[in-house]
């Protein structure tokens, strides 16, 4: 029952607190804080003590059930960390937005849905939770209710539904050719006697499912929603989407390929090589688009497209090393990219700056925020000792040892080019922010000293920058201890 409590409590809390605000008019930040801390405690108890639970049984092979294994625990830990940081940040940021209670209601519903994705024990259950993450996060994108926000939210919705339908196509074929066991099992559940002679149609179904579930992860050609949704959504929603919700697509692909189909079934097939090609195209394309973009949040959106496809590349190698490198990339990217979007939100909150050119000299006004941006950027580029270094290192080694001909070398080359482009679109912000020379941006030149308004050297309240520091610390922790954590994942492939 611990798993069900961890899933249902944030959903019920979000709805109840929205109703409380509607009836009393009080924001109830203390109640929201209690709700997130109780959710964190329930998630921790589920990780330590929860056993399998079946909610519904539709047929002997189709059940709605949950169970936490090592992969689920890995994703659940990072989800609750990032969600918790974003909540405290939102208490400050949402002062410049309307309808805070409705935003936080959908925030808590999406948290419950994401916990469901982490805890699902078969493809039917994870598909339902995966869809719930979509329907609970679309309102976060269109929160401003402007024409542009509604259009962005609908684009996100249509892309997600289209991708999910492609994924469902793959689930149908999985259940057709699976054995009696359809719960997640390392190595997959396909019955090879049933699949004999049907490999071509299965390869196609699997490839379409990868594209479908990869939509949420921003993989080409279904990536178009990210650069549209992120600039429009409030900064906490952007941090949530890029930091965690995109990872739901990654987790479903891991479950589908590594625990349902079985990596051995598609290893060496055209499906694997097509997946690798799409991943590398996305890595390079996202970095190049980010390099040319001047709107900061849109630049970060293109960056997410690229960085999450590092994970896709590792998964597509279908090796233990590739999986481990991908998991480390998930763990470092979630806090780093959430931190960057929250930094962008801090600039918007205090000075209304959306364009990177307006950040020249921002280090004199917001030193802590810019230092957090610097540390998170170092992780994305892959500079030791940050988490991005160890994840990219493992991905390169996995590629070079994959014995896949030209792909073994092409992968590291593309990753290196992408890392250089990442430095090219993030480091100039830091340099101009700390060392503007004789010119400070017009947006900042007329602004008063932060001490005059906040009583400190920082232009935003502590509740906004303390979560940034914590997320940077998480990325550093992964960089220092990531290899020790990988011992938990032995023998999956």
More confident residue, 419 or 60: 419
Query: Is the CB of residue 238 less than 8 Å from the CB of residue 230?
Result: yes
CA separation for the pair 392, 75 (Å, rounded): 19
Query: Is the CB of residue 452 less than 8 Å from the CB of residue 363?
Result: no
Q: What pLDDT is recorded for position 489?
A: 64
Q: What pLDDT is recorded for position 486?
A: 76
pLDDT higher than 50, residue 329: yes
CA contacts within 13 A on the Cβ side of 484: 5
Query: Is the CB of residue 18 less than 8 Å from the CB of residue 101?
Result: yes
pLDDT band at 490 (very low <50, low <70, confident <90, very high): low
pLDDT band at 440 (very low <50, low <70, confident <90, very high): confident
Query: Is the CB of residue 63 less than 8 Å from the CB of residue 124?
Result: yes
CA separation for the pair 392, 231 (Å, rounded): 27
pLDDT higher than 80, residue 205: yes
Q: Three-class SS of residue 493?
A: coil
400 token code pair:
């070079």
pLDDT band at 438 (very low <50, low <70, confident <90, very high): low
Q: What pLDDT is recorded for position 20?
A: 85
Q: pLDDT for 8-19, tens place per residue?
A: 999 999 999 998
More confident residue, 24 or 449: 24
Average pLDDT over residues 101-122: 94
CA separation for the pair 395, 22 (Å, rounded): 49
pTM of the model: 0.94
The DSSP H or E segment spanning 453 is helix 451-454
Q: What pLDDT is recorded for position 485?
A: 79
Q: pLDDT for 175-189, tens place per residue?
A: 989 887 788 998 888
Q: Provide the percentage of residues in the chain whose pLDDT is more than 90.
A: 66
Helices 246-256, 70-93: inter-axial angle, 10-degree rounding? 170
pLDDT higher than 50, residue 361: yes
Least confident of 47-51, 209-213, 272-276, 423-427: 47-51
pLDDT higher than 90, residue 57: no
Average pLDDT over residues 377-387: 92
| DSSP assignment letter at 101 | H
DSSP 243-305: IIIHHHHHHHHHHHIIIII-HHHHTTSHHHHHHHHHHHHHHHHHHHHHHH--BHHHHHHHHHH
CA contacts within 13 A on the Cβ side of 111: 37
Average pLDDT over residues 247-271: 94
Query: Is the CB of residue 141 less than 8 Å from the CB of residue 241?
Result: yes
Q: Computed from CA positions of residues 378, 379, 380, 382, in that sequence, does the dihedral angle turn out positive or negative?
A: positive
| DSSP assignment letter at 332 | H
Query: Is the CB of residue 248 less than 8 Å from the CB of residue 114?
Result: yes
CA separation for the pair 122, 119 (Å, rounded): 9
Q: What pLDDT is recorded for position 452?
A: 47
CA separation for the pair 329, 394 (Å, rounded): 9
Using only C-alpha atoms, what is the Rg of the chain?
22
């Amino acid at each position: 029952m611990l798993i069900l409590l961890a899933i249902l409590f944030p959903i019920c809390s979000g709805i109840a607190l929205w109703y409380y605000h509607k009836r009393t008019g009080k924001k109830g930040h203390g109640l929201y804080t209690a709700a997130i801390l109780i959710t964190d405690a329930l998630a921790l108890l589920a990780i330590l003590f929860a056993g399998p639970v079946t909610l519904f049984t539709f047929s002997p092979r189709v059940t709605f059930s949950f169970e936490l294994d090592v992969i689920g625990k890995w994703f659940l830990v990072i989800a609750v960390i990032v969600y918790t940081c974003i909540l405290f940040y939102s208490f400050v940021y949402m002062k410049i937005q309307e309808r805070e209670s409705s935003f936080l209601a959908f925030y808590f519903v999406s948290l419950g849905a994401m916990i469901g994705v982490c805890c699902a024990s078969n493809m039917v259950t994870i598909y339902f939770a995966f869809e719930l993450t979509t329907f609970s996060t679309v309102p976060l994108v269109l929160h401003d209710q402007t024409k542009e926000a509604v259009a962005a939210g609908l684009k996100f919705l249509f892309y997600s539904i289209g991708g999910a339908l492609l994924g469902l196509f793959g689930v149908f074929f999985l259940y057709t050719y699976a054995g009696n066991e359809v719960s997640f099992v390392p190595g997959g559940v396909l019955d090879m006697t049933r699949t004999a002679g049907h490999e071509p149609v299965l390869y196609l179904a699997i490839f379409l499912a990868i594209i479908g579930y990869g939509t949420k992860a921003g993989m080409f050609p279904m990536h178009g929603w990210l650069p549209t949704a992120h600039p429009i959504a409030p900064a906490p929603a952007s941090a949530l989407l890029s930091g965690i919700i995109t990872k739901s697509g990654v987790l479903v692909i891991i479950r589908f390929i590594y625990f349902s189909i079985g990596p051995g079934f598609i290893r060496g097939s055209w499906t694997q090589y097509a997946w690798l090609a799409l991943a590398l195209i996305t890595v390079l394309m996202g970095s190049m688009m980010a390099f040319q973009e001047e709107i900061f949040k849109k630049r970060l959106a293109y960056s997410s497209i690229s960085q999450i496809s590092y994970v896709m590349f590792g998964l597509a190698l279908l090796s233990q090393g590739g999986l481990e490198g991908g998991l480390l990339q998930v763990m470092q990217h979630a806090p780093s990219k959430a931190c960057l979007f929250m930094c962008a939100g801090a600039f918007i909150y205090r000075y209304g700056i959306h364009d990177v050119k307006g950040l020249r000299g921002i280090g004199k006004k917001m030193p802590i925020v810019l230092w957090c941006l610097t540390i998170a950027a170092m992780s994305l580029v892959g500079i030791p000792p940050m988490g991005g270094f160890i994840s990219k290192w493992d991905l390169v080694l996995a590629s070079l040892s994959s014995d896949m001909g030209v792909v073994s070398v092409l992968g590291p080359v593309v990753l290196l080019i992408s890392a250089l482009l990442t430095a090219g679109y993030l480091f100039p912000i830091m340099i101009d922010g700390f060392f503007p020379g004789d010119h400070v941006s017009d947006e900042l030149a007329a602004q008063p000293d932060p001490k005059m308004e906040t009583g400190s050297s920082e232009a935003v309240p502590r509740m906004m920058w303390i979560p940034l520091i914590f997320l940077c610390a998480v990325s550093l922790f992964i960089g220092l201890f990531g290899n020790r954590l990988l011992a938990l994942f032995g023998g999956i492939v």
